[in-house]
Amino acid sequence: MRAHYMQHVRFEGLGCIEPWLRAEGYDITNTRFFETAIFPDQNDIDLLIVMGGPMSVNNEAEFPWLVEEKQFIRSCIEEENSVLGICLGAQLIASSMGARV
């Protein structure tokens, strides 16, 4: 099984989720937006975890990768991948599906 997480800032990592994923046998990959905004092929992951951060889901002018991130999240949901959002991640899920945040 493959888990991919999206990390928005250095201090918002997987935390205690990581040992659980490893114990369950997941291979873990990531996109670290503070380094690069490269997305995996959604067919290569089974679980997407969208982490938190201090920015707003509406700050697309300041953080242009938010547009592509929301498209990626929506695409994963539409393809029935499992998706978990933590804090900002939950807001990104809502926004990607058309909700006002």
Tens-digit pLDDT profile for residues 85-96 = 999 999 999 999
Average pLDDT score, the chain: 95
CATH architecture of 2-96: 3-Layer(aba) Sandwich (3.40)
Q: Could you tell me which residues are beta bridge partners of residue 32?
A: 7
| pLDDT at position 36 | 87
pTM (predicted TM-score): 0.94
Cα separation, 66 vs 95, whole angstroms? 10
